[in-house]
A and B are shown apart, each in its own frame.
Chain A
Amino acid sequence: MTPLLETTGLTRRYGSLVALDGVSLSVAAGARHAVIGPNGAGKSTLFALVTGSLRPTAGRIRFDGEDVTGRPDHARARAGMGKTFQHASLFTSLTVLDNVALATQRAAGLGMAMLRPAGRHAAVAEAAMRQLWLVGLAGRAATPAAALSHGERRQLEVAVALATSPKLLLLDEPTAGMSAADSARFAELVSSLGPAVTVLIIEHDLDVVFRLATRVTVLHLGRVLADGTPDEVRADETVQRAYLGDAALDDLFTEDAR
């Protein structure tokens, strides 16, 4: 089956600094694909290249059967890519509902509609409320986004990203700064998304990764170190060495590790 997302030899150079070096990876439709690796491994660069906020120095990207390497970020978003940002990126002067409505109104093609008051587009508001229900923020719809707690902001971010009904959802360290309870709730939310949404996730919390992921890619110094099922990656010695030198790594990779 054709993968939903496929990168071939993706490279990004800054002068003599190589942030990403010939990364080829393949994300199957419906998968929960995690990208892990030590800091500086190139994970965020990979995301930026995939979503189009950065141009590759070399390599190609195929999404949903089409070569999107040359397409700008907004075009890729329209093609079905949704993302969350590493540092919660919201519309702070707007309410929670408006934040999500911006996504649903774009999906409905109403972004440039100038005549009717925004509230009169019933379908837009309903779709937005539905998203808020899904992430558990329905009660906060009228709250200014700036007043939300950290965890709530993360939830809102996911709601906004999901509101465009993306085929591929890219989550950039979504549980960073979350409590254990919030992380668990988040993992459940992702699991509940169903096969229509493929998830590509950068994560440091290996607990979340091994609970969720159907496939794991390990990046190190800009290259793919390992790529396989969670169990395969767990057992891979090169991965263990990359994370913690030569020390034994059972502690890091057992399920009750914190």
Chain B
Amino acid sequence: MSTARRPRAVAGGALVVLALVPLLVSANVADMLTRVLAFALLAVGLDLLAGVGGLPSLGQAAPFGVGAYTAALLGKHVTTVGPVQLVAAAAAGAGLAAAVGWLLVRSRGTYFLMLTLAVGEIVHELADRWEGVTGGTNGLAGVPPITLYPGGAPVRLAGVLYWYVLAAALAGAGALWVVSRSAFGRTLRGVRDNEERMRSLGYRTFLPRYAVFCIAGAAAGAAGSLWAAQARFVSPADLGFEVSALALLAVVIGGRGSLWGAALGAAVVVLVREALSPQLGGRGPLVLGLVFVAAVYLLPRGFAGIRLRRPRSIA
């Protein structure tokens, strides 16, 4: 098989395996893998923002949580149709990003990082205190299971829920991938590599940065709705700094800018935390921290960089 066809074959194989999962594993494992998928969508969105766009954010938990709460509130009071919740959550995440991003993307580097942290904390506090809406520190429990279409039966089988989340995550990640490969994606890389040069070519660099920030917000919001659909419980912890940090961890481990690497990194993060941690005496975060440190040192381009493939032209 030629080198050009290999990645496609691998991707195809991976998709087949992913689709077969519910037939191969127990409900608990399917639940965990569902969470992996939701988190992967969050990580891929962050990769587009940070890896491709060069905007490192420690605040993606904010649109993620906003999406989760939106989906949960819709589920409890308005509609249990999953796709509707998904779209609404993505819109909510994008809305938050649009509202704060307009100011935030004017800053660069570490300052931008600190600002996203601040926004993340503000939204976290909001979730904690706005008891009337968010249920305060206790969170929103009793979120009804989603239905796949109006009037449909509630999805109670872990396998079916997995397939729904898989489809949604693939659609979301697919959209992000399309954006990454487009001329706009090239613009993002240009702004990331050398903003001054872009301006000297006539680019108004604010626009691409703002746009990618909103897109990442939408992806995070969508991921939040998928998370809520599986957990059926949302609390301020879902908006915390830890979620943002883990998402960034996933992106770094997987390789900034490759998108699929971030999905892989997300799998590593969730699996270590949930599956391995009990085996390690609960020291999951320790292992993750060590993996993170190792990744920063040894894999400047994350898992995605291991192949040592030269950057192919996007054109």
Within 8 Å by CB, do A and B touch in the complex? yes
Q: What is the number of residues of chain B that contact chain A, defined by CB distance less than 8 Å?
A: 33
Segment touching B, from A7-15, A55-63, A88-96, A198-206:
A88-96
Please tell me if B205 contacts chain A, counting CB pairs below 8 Å: yes
In the complex, A78 Cα to B184 Cα: how many Å? 18
The answer to whether B208 and A112 have CB atoms under 8 Å apart is yes
The answer to whether B311 and A106 have CB atoms under 8 Å apart is no
A-B contact count (CB 8 A): 129
In-complex Cβ contact of A118 among B185, B192, B194 (8 A): B185
Query: Closest residue of chain B to A105, judged by CB?
Result: B183
The answer to whether B190 and A91 have CB atoms under 8 Å apart is yes
Q: Which residues of A contact B193 (CB under 8 A)?
A: 90-94
B49 smallest CB distance to A (angstroms): 14
In the complex, A97 Cα to B201 Cα: how many Å? 15
Segment touching A, from B23-31, B110-118, B174-182:
B174-182
Please tell me if B2 contacts chain A, counting CB pairs below 8 Å: no
Q: Which residues of B contact A118 (CB under 8 A)?
A: 181-183, 185-186, 314-315
Segment touching B, from A16-24, A120-128, A220-228:
A120-128
The answer to whether A110 and B183 have CB atoms under 8 Å apart is yes
The answer to whether A114 and B179 have CB atoms under 8 Å apart is yes
In-complex Cβ contact of B201 among A92, A95, A160 (8 A): A160
Please tell me if A73 contacts chain B, counting CB pairs below 8 Å: yes
Interface bits B183-211 vs A (CB < 8 Å: 1, else 0) = 11111011011101111111111011001
The answer to whether B204 and A74 have CB atoms under 8 Å apart is yes
Please tell me if A117 contacts chain B, counting CB pairs below 8 Å: yes
Q: Which residues of A contact B314 (CB under 8 A)?
A: 94, 98, 101, 117-119
Q: Which residues of B contact A90 (CB under 8 A)?
A: 193-194, 197
In the complex, A90 Cα to B207 Cα: how many Å? 21
The answer to whether B202 and A78 have CB atoms under 8 Å apart is yes
In-complex Cβ contact of B183 among A53, A113, A141 (8 A): A113
In the complex, A90 Cα to B208 Cα: how many Å? 19
The answer to whether A124 and B202 have CB atoms under 8 Å apart is no
In the complex, A70 Cα to B211 Cα: how many Å? 26
In the complex, A101 Cα to B315 Cα: how many Å? 8
Residues 160-178 of B contacting A (Cβ, < 8 Å): 178
The answer to whether A74 and B203 have CB atoms under 8 Å apart is yes
Please tell me if B312 contacts chain A, counting CB pairs below 8 Å: yes
The answer to whether A117 and B181 have CB atoms under 8 Å apart is yes
Given contacts A73-B200, A101-B186, A105-B186, contact A114 B315 (CB under 8 A): no
B258 smallest CB distance to A (angstroms): 12
Interface bits B222-236 vs A (CB < 8 Å: 1, else 0) = 000000000000000
B143 smallest CB distance to A (angstroms): 33
Q: Which residues of B contact A161 (CB under 8 A)?
A: 200
Interface bits A62-103 vs B (CB < 8 Å: 1, else 0) = 000000000011100110001101000111111101100111
In the complex, A107 Cα to B201 Cα: how many Å? 9
Q: Which residues of B contact A113 (CB under 8 A)?
A: 182-184
The answer to whether B200 and A51 have CB atoms under 8 Å apart is yes
The secondary structure that dominates the B interface is helix
The answer to whether A114 and B182 have CB atoms under 8 Å apart is yes
In the complex, A73 Cα to B211 Cα: how many Å? 21
Please tell me if B77 contacts chain A, counting CB pairs below 8 Å: no
Please tell me if B6 contacts chain A, counting CB pairs below 8 Å: no
Name the residue among A102, A106, A142, A144 with the largest chain B CB count within 10 angstroms. A102
Given contacts A97-B313, A116-B183, contact A82 B200 (CB under 8 A): yes
A88 smallest CB distance to B (angstroms): 10
In the complex, A115 Cα to B205 Cα: how many Å? 19
Please tell me if B8 contacts chain A, counting CB pairs below 8 Å: no
Q: Which residues of A contact B185 (CB under 8 A)?
A: 114, 118
The answer to whether B211 and A94 have CB atoms under 8 Å apart is no
Residues 110-162 of A contacting B (Cβ, < 8 Å): 110-119, 121, 124-125, 128, 141-142, 144, 160-161
The answer to whether A91 and B197 have CB atoms under 8 Å apart is yes
Given contacts A112-B187, A112-B211, A128-B315, contact A106 B203 (CB under 8 A): yes
The answer to whether B311 and A93 have CB atoms under 8 Å apart is yes
B188 smallest CB distance to A (angstroms): 10
Q: Which residues of B contact A89 (CB under 8 A)?
A: 194, 196-197
In-complex Cβ contact of B208 among A73, A92, A93, A111 (8 A): A111
Please tell me if A217 contacts chain B, counting CB pairs below 8 Å: no
In the complex, A184 Cα to B250 Cα: how many Å? 51
Q: Which residues of B contact A121 (CB under 8 A)?
A: 183, 315
- Beyond A53-B199, A141-B313, list 10 extra A-B contacts (CB 8 Å): A89-B194, A91-B194, A93-B193, A105-B186, A112-B208, A114-B179, A117-B178, A117-B181, A142-B313, A144-B311
A-side interface residues toward B, CB under 8 Å? 51, 53, 72-74, 77-78, 82-83, 85, 89-95, 97-98, 101-103, 105-107, 110-119, 121, 124-125, 128, 141-142, 144, 160-161, 164
A to B CB contacts below 8 Å, 27 in the list: A53-B200, A74-B199, A74-B204, A77-B200, A89-B194, A90-B197, A91-B189, A92-B193, A95-B312, A101-B315, A106-B201, A112-B183, A112-B187, A112-B207, A113-B182, A113-B183, A115-B178, A116-B182, A116-B183, A117-B182, A124-B183, A125-B315, A142-B312, A142-B313, A144-B311, A160-B201, A164-B201
